[in-house]
Structure 1
């Protein structure tokens, strides 16, 4: 009768759990691919990971889901020109901007944001926030896939409804009502621009009470939004 070798059973158990962990990681990474398809119908109103966090921590949040057609064009054009002027032209990633960011990284220089609206949508839906090269590496393929399976109009609609505009405030409609006491369709061109330039740092910038620097940024975006006709063709 053969004796069992000592240590064989623990090694087998270890391989079993390693396989289980690997399968779990693969399933977790693949989940956004499935959810992107689930989010295609307009009747589905996705939430962001930050919104989920606010619910779990019992903070709650404010959001008024609004179809893209009901957003004021001033707001849509302002966000487009502020966040991603090439949104209608690229396929999830702005290659020219990405090359510049990569060169800055290789040179050891501080990198800019560089995220397209599609990348930000993927991050808000599926990933965590904060600076991380791991998160950015995941953001890129998710953005390409999202652009492949989802129309531009739907991507913009989701983005405008899940973007953070202040503590517990998500979506442009809730932001417009919170900061200006009116709907996005009633915003002036300057108010729409102020909301747009708040997006890069919504916890530090207050569009309803803008600083001089924020007003200067808004003035630039206001001018660009007035000439957005050549850039917003995919949203019409």
Structure 2
């Protein structure tokens, strides 16, 4: 019996005993490497949105809608997401040549900010971001928005900058019915409510009336106020 045991110990092990552990180690190493590189790739995506000066209460687990941008207002001043922090914001993506839905939504925005101030004693920054920067110059935006409410801030920029912010806020748009220099722009007509940290709180569709929107915004503002005091 002892002789059989000694022979068994000295006999070479099957190749499978060496292959399996090596394969497992290689797989574990590959998984670690992929995870490490995923983290490295994720860093540049958030570099522009670093909030080193923003208090901890601004850190939430909300969906990643929104991000850094650089546009220009109707006075050609540079506007970034960091400059807009500090106030509640209602953001809408549209264009001044829109024949129907656009004007109705901008009018709704104008009605909402008046309702919030007069009925709920709440101030909010109304923001109109054009999705047609080729035609919506700062001068054009200013003239258009002043017909609704001069307090609405109009933003425009380069085509690439507008595409970037549209992607950040999951806004779909494309040219349709092009006839020469004239065309329409099909887009998703949503309004976004952003808190003072400029983080997206809610998204509102066209089904909301101005009064309903004012109530919904007030509710979110009050909820945030209660949360900050706890």
> Which structure is higher in helix share?
1
- Work out which structure has the larger RCO, using CA pairs closer than 8 Å and 6 or more positions apart in sequence: 1
Do they superpose with TM above 0.5?
no
> Which structure is higher in strand share?
2
Task: Tell me which structure has the larger Cα radius of gyration.
Answer: 2
TM-score by length of 1: 0.29
